[in-house]
Structure 1
Amino acid sequence: MQKVKVIITGTTGMVGEGVLQECLINPEVESVLIVNRREYPLQHPKLRQVILSDILEIDQLGNDLLDYNACYFCAGVSSVGMDEEEYTKMTYDLTLSFAQKLVKINSDITFCYVSGSGTDSSEKGRSMWARVKGKTENDLMKLPFKAVYNFRPAFMRPTPGAKNVKPLFRFITSLYPILRPFSKTYFLTLEEVGKAMIAVSIHGYNKHVLEVQDISFLASKNI
């Protein structure tokens, strides 16, 4: 069976950490390279870390990036308290610049981007964050990667043992067993997100914008 070698950004945040946790235990993942601004406190036989003061310096890794066939871009910020210019810089500009540098070195990569439920593909809606995320998704899909998949999760339950969990998520997590049966189109686990990313990296999928139902399906079928 084909295995995947993965680059992950944002592992010092909740989503990236959850995806990393799944990659390290999943037998279909051969190795993981994490790219962060600060060290993630973990050692594992599958894991290699690169610390860059600016993750846009990824092109410094050069031919080392040719060993990998998937990238899970989990770095991101909340739009709370930001104006559109600042949020665009931290979301659209950062993501596209990173992806453009990566694709010049290795285009034979499946690029998975963590977007969000409610993202606006038209780029014209009233919600600022949704417009910016929509433009980010749209322009990523124009890059000549092997494939681009935009993941649109809603609430994600952290994996047990996660360190980078905000207090609000810790509270909601305690209600997860009650809430999920009533809204399977909204609630996911980060384990499911990680499994779905691995699945599309190996097997592909017939959609390039993945809503909660798609993520859940891919994780459960492990296709």
Structure 2
Amino acid sequence: MHLILTGATGLVGSGVLQQMLVNESVTRISILSRRPVKMVEGHEDKAKVIIHNDFKSYDPALLDELKDAQGCVWALGVSQNDVNKTEYVEITHHYPLAAAKAFSGLHPDSPFTFVFVSGEGATQTPGMFTPIFGRVKGQAEQSLFDFYKATPNFKLYNVRPAAVDWRHHPEIHPFMPQQAAYKSMLITPIDAVRKSMITPTKPLGKTLTELAMSKGGPLEGKDIRMEGTLLPNVAIRRMAGL
């Protein structure tokens, strides 16, 4: 099976890539990235990095290279603190929607499954104090869902990891971005007092890979919303056996 991955140099993306590489059912990985991806070294027979600078545009040559891909994990993202609001909306909302529209045409007669990495705190009903992150992620989820409803072959999962925990995934430690000291200090107490808010990278990567490999059918569960397409962190943990 051929899968597409974005955000492979980020924390979540590193976890997904490592799990794609060890999954024998994944035979080919096309990684869209602005820069080289070190984890691919030694795995060039399975994974190919395609340097791609404009995530709002997909030319015919690129789409031809991706034409037999059956799913995508969209892990590309940025902190709202690292860019201005306009850039954050472009990266968080416009990029995945452009990709969804492009990838849905790769093979219109068969399903394409798009897994969008959102986050806890995203909402379609923002309040006065909802941060930009929650508003824009929620808008992205809604736009992708609307496209899913209008496009028969396009299948969708919006997933909301919470406090992403890399500590027990040593395979990605040489490749993941350096984490701020405060994150290391916070993750242990969160794990101790509210484990349901922890999202370990290894089971998360495995779950996202398996979702991208699926036919994209609606999921069942009392905590799954948006007609079986929206997975909060508790659902991710349950699917991962945590």
Normalising by structure 2, what TM-score?
Answer: 0.79
The count of aligned residue pairs is 217
Report the Cα distance in structure 2 between the residues aligned to 1:99 and 1:105, rounded to whole angstroms.
Answer: 10
Are 2:167 and 1:155 equivalent residues in the alignment? no
CA distance change for structure 1 residues 173 and 212 in 2, over 3 Å: closer, same or farther?
Answer: farther
Instruction: Give ranges in structure 2 of 5+ residues lacking alignment.
Output: 221-227
Are 2:15 and 1:18 equivalent residues in the alignment? yes
Deviates more, 1:98-107 or 1:27-36: 98-107
Instruction: Give ranges in structure 1 of 5+ residues lacking alignment.
Output: none
1:63 CA drift (Å): 2.6
Give the corresponding residue for 1:138.
Answer: 142
More helix by share: 1
Deviates more, 1:179-188 or 1:17-26: 179-188
Report the Cα distance in structure 2 between the residues aligned to 1:170 and 1:140, rounded to whole angstroms.
Answer: 33
The answer as to whether partners of 1:156 and 1:190 remain within 8 angstroms in 2 is yes
The answer as to whether partners of 1:33 and 1:47 remain within 8 angstroms in 2 is yes
Deviates more, 1:65-74 or 1:40-49: 40-49
Give the corresponding residue for 1:167.
Answer: 179
Q: Percent identity?
A: 27
The answer as to whether partners of 1:96 and 1:136 remain within 8 angstroms in 2 is yes
Deviates more, 1:136-145 or 1:159-168: 159-168
SS in 2 for 1:89: helix
Deviates more, 1:85-94 or 1:57-66: 57-66
Give the corresponding residue for 1:120.
Answer: 123
The answer as to whether partners of 1:37 and 1:55 remain within 8 angstroms in 2 is no
Report the Cα distance in structure 2 between the residues aligned to 1:72 and 1:115, rounded to whole angstroms.
Answer: 11
CA distance change for structure 1 residues 129 and 174 in 2, over 3 Å: closer, same or farther?
Answer: closer
| CA deviation profile, 1:115-159 (whole Å, cap 9, x unmatched) | 010101225553221111111001111222531101100111223
RMSD: 2.5
SS in 2 for 1:72: strand
Normalising by structure 1, what TM-score?
Answer: 0.85
